[in-house]
Amino acid sequence: MLKYTVTDHPLIQHKLSLMRDVNTGSKEFRELVSETSMLMCYEAMRDLPLKEVDIQTPLGIARSKVISGRKIAVVPILRSGLGMTDGIMGMIPAAKIGHIGTFRDPRTTGTVGYYCKLPRDISDRVAVIADVMLATGGAACEAVRLAKEAGCKDIRFMCLIATEQGIAKLNETHPDVEIFCAAVDDGLNEDLFIVPGLGDASDRMFGTK
């Protein structure tokens, strides 16, 4: 059985539909990716531990709750994951940011990691690895491998659109990593793009094609 969580809030689904539209331009696409990532962050961070503290209000003392002892790192996979960073950071402004770069070898279709820069204290942080698409699962698995190699123990993977194939590969390779997505699409075409998907997320986001 595949393990993943679909965040099906109406606002997320509405924004995802706008992103899929071929007529949506780069500026609006970037804004939608950021806004959707901010909304999805609620679900991905649902289990953060809390502690009770006393807060002085204008009228007295309120017994309140704050996040307890869990530091966060946002780790976008280059390039499309960059578009999700601001949205997540809007919810967790104290988080640190790492970056992981991967590419697909055109000869073997395997994934190669070419860049990894993570916070020095990544082993003490919850890492939210972000990428717009979880297609074959290659980039996600390589990013998680690099994060674990650096000492990270608590990893969540956040994407907007996934396939069952990509989910299955990440589940099998890294069964301890939770997956959060907004939709699971039909599958992949011969060029390994998600169908129906939303096209090349990086090119649409940055206007490079």
- Catalytic hit among 104, 124, 145, 154: 104
- Catalytic hit among 63, 107, 108, 120: 108
Tokens (6 digits) for 163: 């396939």
- Coil vs helix vs strand at 136: coil
Tokens (6 digits) for 59: 């009228």
Tokens (6 digits) for 50: 């809390």
200 is catalytic: yes
Number of structural domains in the chain: 1
> pTM for this one?
0.93
pLDDT in tens, the chain (209 residues): 899 999 999 999 999 999 999 999 999 999 999 999 999 999 899 988 899 999 999 999 999 999 887 799 999 999 999 999 999 999 999 999 999 999 888 777 788 889 999 999 999 999 999 999 999 999 999 999 999 999 999 999 999 999 999 999 999 999 999 999 999 999 999 989 999 999 999 999 999 97
108 is catalytic: yes
Helices (H), the chain: 10-20, 26-44, 82-91, 138-149, 164-173, 201-206
- Coil vs helix vs strand at 25: coil
Task: Name the residue among 93, 77, 85 with its Cα closest to residue 170.
Answer: 77
DSSP letter for 44, please: H
- Read out DSSP for 60-93? EEEEEEEE-S-EEEEEEEETTTHHHHHHHHHH-T
Q: What CATH number did the domain enclosing 105 receive?
A: 3.40.50.2020
Tokens (6 digits) for 89: 């950071």
d(CA 163, CA 165): 5
Host domain of residue 19 = 5-206
176 is catalytic: no
109 is catalytic: no
